[in-house]
Amino acid sequence: MATFINEPSHTFGEYLLIPGYSSTDCIPANVSLKTPLVKFRKGEEAPISLNIPLVSAIMQSVSDDGMAVALASEGGLSFVYGSQSIENEAGMVARVKSYKAGFVVSDSNVSPDATLGDILALKERTGHSTVAVTEDGTPAGKLAGIITSRDYRVSRMPIDMQVKDFMTPYSELICGNEQTTLKEANDIIWEHKLNCLPVVDKNDRLMYFVFRKDYTTHKSNENELIDASKRYMVGAGINTRDYAERVPALVEAGADALCIDSSEGFSEWQRITLRYIREKYGDTVKVGAGNVVDREGFRFLAEAGADFVKVGIGGGAICITRETKGIGRGQATALIEVARARDEYFEETGVYVPICSDGGIVHDYHMTLALAMGADFMMLGRYFARFDESPTKKVNINGSYMKEYWGEGSARARNWQRYDLGGDAKLTFEEGVDSLVPYAGTLKDNVRMSLSKVRSTMCNCGALTIPELQQKAKLTLVSSTSIVEGGAHDVMLKDSRQIR
């Protein structure tokens, strides 16, 4: 007879934190969000730790090399999506590892024959006002000039006027070269009162831009997640089919951590994949596994050699696994049980295997709840998909900007490997949807705002570190009426536009 668990499973929205004693030291500036990414032995430091407890989901619509650089600059880690060719994924990883902080590859490029209309359309699409003019219109073409908003006035110029007739030509530009350091580039910018400095190679081909506005940005990024060579750190997704070819390519490209991307991790396929990595690389290659929702699933993967374990099935915003298959568990209940299993395993073996909460984060306060319930860090998809740095297009829907966001189990992604059960190499039915999410701006601004809320709540609980929060937190289930009471109610909200 089937095993029945009669207690209902719960998700984050059904819990609240109860405040604890806060000393005078409990101020947000004193809170540390550093957390282990991979397993370690008792009394030792984790080989890799995050400076903030956020990683981006292994999804086409979320994690490419651009997202990886942006998130690493804030202290988190991206797992570049694996539902692409091995060569493309390894290329993204290599670009992150070779990225020179402050040196920006141009994403706004035209040829001299383009028109003012093309410039305006490009600016609308990218939001960037500096456009590189290269002979072939590519980011690495021979530099012919640049265009900024100071080079044209829409009201006084025909829309079909060609770029070559109003750009600032190469002969009038001050440029850096292959040997120019970031410090030297910034010195040139300040000395000549420039907004940006093009950097070209010996054949006058564009390599990078260095922008004046980025100087203070990089000075303020104290949380950057970098390796021993001061390169940004990056993760990469793998699957249980082509791991023997994909893993070596990603390791060669410089990936700092790997993660098996699967909708359900309690399977022999994951143990086989982990065994291959351990036999070939020992403990030098760090790899996470999952997803699981109970104690047995965690123990299976921990004993199989996973460096961290992902928790969550069916809780993602674009996931319909529960709807199509009836498989899953409320995220809070799953996380609480797996956290207990992790602590039991640590007591028994002296090995701490971090857990990652994957899915179910709707509001910022859910992040704090997830940490309090035992998560070492969180994997987020919808959250990051809303930002400028995600790889999807920004579209205007009825006057509001949105970003495209689709699941790996959708017909658009067709990532059958993620749902592989050893059968035919195809996606038999969808377990994800194709959707839109409200555009939210830059990653930096949003992440810093979200984490300021986390730090403030931790202070309310009397905790200055994540382990301290997990030890001191008091959580209570709430009724449906309590949830209503928790928001604005019994008032008429003002519309600021009506106030004069």
Separation between Cα atoms, residue 344 and residue 338, nearest integer Å: 10
Say if residues 130 and 209 touch (Cβ distance below 8 Å). yes
Choosing from 196, 418, 455, 459, the catalytic residue is: 418
- SS3 (DSSP) at 116: helix
Say if residues 383 and 391 touch (Cβ distance below 8 Å). no
CA 177 vs CA 49, 60, 428: distances in Å: 35, 34, 52
**At 486, phi and psi to the nearest 5?**
-70, -20
User: How are beta strands 355-358 and 308-311 bridged, if at all?
Assistant: parallel
* Annotation says 418 is catalytic: yes
User: How are beta strands 308-311 and 257-260 bridged, if at all?
Assistant: unpaired
| Secondary structure (H, E, C), 260-293 | ECCCCCCCHHHHHHHHHHHHHHCCCCCEEEEEEC
Separation between Cα atoms, residue 14 and residue 333, nearest integer Å: 10
150 burial via Cβ count (<10 Å: 0-12, 13-18, 19+) = exposed
Q: 441's torsion region: left (phi>0), alpha (psi -120 to 50) or beta?
A: left
Separation between Cα atoms, residue 200 and residue 70, nearest integer Å: 24
Choosing from 26, 319, 459, 461, the catalytic residue is: 319
* Annotation says 319 is catalytic: yes
Separation between Cα atoms, residue 337 and residue 299, nearest integer Å: 12
Which residue numbers are catalytic? 319, 418
